Every structure is written in structure tokens, then in C-alpha cells.
Structure 1
């Protein structure tokens, strides 16, 4: 019983995190509030749909239509995601590996995919979702998060997390790259959750 209680203490509810500023996925202009279109570049959800006029595939722990990952790697990533979501029950981790090419803005595609797609297993809440998008053709990665995650992990932290896994993606070790990304993200979320717990106790 004592061990079970210790495990429960390690579960961090994402709803305790605060909400922060948003950013335009096209021009990276900082938005202080939700808007229909970016006041700087005019990018909007409608423009995203026009750029990608086809049904969005459902999101899950692994979306890899071209099978860049082996079945063993897909299984390992899925197990890692489920393990992390037990610790952070309201956070959802989505990983997508798809070749897009230089003509596609990776951030815009990530924004469209995150917002237009359905999620698996009846999970409709994406406010605390994290989408890692990997373009193996251009060897680039992008991160899209729900509005609830905007302040949980800062832009500089996302940059550091991506840098830690970038070399693996460049060397086409996609499974290891995704797991490294997930591990680094978990570390940051854990630090933030512990800081929040200390604030609550004051």
C-alpha cells in the first residue's frame, strides 16, 4: 500500500499549469490572445485548410504512414508514450513521421494536423497535447502544442529539447530520436510540476 501511495504522488495533473502566450505557426509572431488570423502575416485556420485540402489522419502515439520506423520502434515509442501519460494523465503525446519536402512549411502543417485531426481512443481533448512532427525527407522536426501547454514549456526549452534529439533524426534514427525527445520533454514537465507543487505548499 505504501508503494502504491508513492506512485500516486508522482502523477501530475496538467490542469494545474498556467496558460501563456500563443505564437503564429507561420511567422512566429507572439499573440497575447486567441485571434481568428495573425495580425502580422494574416495566417489563419482557414488558410491552413486551403493549403492542406484533404482529410487529416487521426493522431495517436505514432503516425508513420510510410513506415520509416520499424514495428519494434513503433512499439517502443507507443509504450513510452503510454508510460509518460500515466505520470501526466492530461498530457497527450503525438508523434508523426511524414516526408513533406521543402515546399511545405513544417510549422503550418503541424498546426493544421494538430487542429484538423481526430484523436484515437475517443480522446477529444488536445489542449495539453504535444505533437512532434518529423520530416525525414528534409531532416527537420517541428513541435506543435495545445494552448494549455503554451507556458508549461517555453520556446527556449523546446529548442533545447529538439537540439538534444536533432542529431539522431539527422542520422535517420527516428525511433531513438522520438524517444529522446519524449524523455527530455518528460524531464522538463517533471521540473515544472515539482515547482508548481512547491508553490502550492507555500
Structure 2
């Protein structure tokens, strides 16, 4: 995967996708969502050993790394509402973190998605339709984890394409705009996926 170059400080943001149909540890393609990866033997319990404790519930935006200003948070929320209006079955979650450089963002995202408790008004079915975008601000990486119901609507390449389209905005220091670009690109891809459905 190509790296993002931050022109302001010459640090890089690498975007990797973590799709449910791929092992978050070795990236092997999986079929039928098995309990463990046949290639590297990774299981969900392995992520619990790496990241102890229980993550917080997943609100629409969780800016742990304090990347965005109040105005930028409102801009991201507006972009979330726009795509949710078109595809209300999908639930979009955006999170920023600061991980240790030795920690895998893909495994962290897998752990957070599956271990985060449901909020008071959130159902298991809604979690299955959730798409979690996590940005590691400390190491300049990003990954996306769609739930079981959301994942089949796009190929892994298409899920990754949404991330790649964030590049220009991120390089210009417009991180909120980069998230909005991710959401708008993903919406366009979902539109195409919907148009490919056979008539009923």
C-alpha cells in the first residue's frame, strides 16, 4: 500500500483496510467468517490478549486523540448525516486514537469493533451494519472495519478506495475534510453497488 506524505512535517500516513472478510493479523482472505484464521491461526481472543480491558461504547465520533476542533467535529457529523440519509441501514463511526508504534491498527480496530459494548439504544443488528473508521494520529495510519451486514456491499478493493481518496485532503492538513471525502467516496461506491442489484 502506498504511503501518504504529510507535507507539513514530512511524516507519513499509511492507509490500510481491515475488512471483516480478511484476517486482521495476516490479511488472508477468509470465507464464511470463521472463528479463526486457517493461515495464521488468529482468533478474536488473541486481540483480547493484546488489548486488555473493555473499550468504550462507540458514539458517532470518538476523537480520543483530540485531532479536531468543535467546528471540524460538526463538519464530520454533517457528512455522516448526509450518507446516513441516503443509506440509513449503514451506521458510520469515526474514531481517532494514538497507538504504540508496535501495535497493529488492524487488530486494534477488530478488537474495538467487537469488544465495545452496545450503547443503550444500539442493537446487535445495528452493530452488524456499522462501519468503523479509525485513524491512528500518532502513527499516521487509518483503517476501516465494516460489520458483517455492511461488508458484502463493497469489495475489499472498494472499501480501500474510500480510504485512498482521503489522500489529497489529508496532505493539505484538512483532516476533517479527508473524513468527509472518505464518506462521500464510499457513498458513491454504495450507489454503484445498489445499481448493480438485479431488479425484483
* TM-score of Structure 1 vs Structure 2, range by shorter chain: 0.7 to 0.9
C-alpha displacement of 1:120: 4.1
| TM-score, scaled to structure 1 | 0.82
Q: Which runs of 4+ in 1 moved over 2 A?
A: 118-121, 166-173
Task: For 1:133-172, list aligned pairs within 5 A.
Answer: 133-172=134-173
Contact persistence 1:92–1:129 (CA under 8 A) = yes
Q: Which runs of 5+ in 1 are unaligned?
A: 1-19
RMSD: 1.9
Instruction: Quote the offset at 1:21 in angstroms.
Output: 8.0
Paired residues, number: 180
Query: Contact between 2:36 and 2:43, CA under 8 Å: does it hold in 1?
Result: yes
Structure 1 contact 130–143 (Cα < 8 Å) conserved: yes
Secondary structure of the 2:199 match is helix
Which structure has the larger Rg?
1
In the TM superposition, what are the counterparts of 1:1-202 in structure 2 within 5 Å? 22-120=21-119, 122-124=121-123, 125-196=126-197, 199-201=198-200
TM-score (norm 2): 0.83
Give the whole-Å Cα distance in 2 for the aligned partners of 1:143 and 1:105. Answer: 13
The alpha carbon displacement at 1:113 in A equals: 0.7
| C-alpha distance 123-21 of structure 1, shift in aligned 2 (>3 A) | closer
Shift of 1:157: 1.3
Higher deviation after alignment, 76-85 or 135-144: 76-85
Residue 121 of structure 1, CA deviation? 5.6
Q: Spell out, residue by residue over 1:125-153, the C-alpha distance to the aligned partner (whole angstroms, 9 max, x if none).
A: 22121111101111111111111222211
Counterpart secondary structure, 2:135: strand
Whether the aligned pair in 1 keeps the contact of 2:163 and 2:182 (CA below 8 Å) is yes
Aligned residue for 2:143, secondary structure, equals strand
More helix by share: 1
- 8 Å CA contact 2:20–2:145 kept in 1: the answer is no
Counterparts of 1:171 and 1:25, CA distance in 2: 29
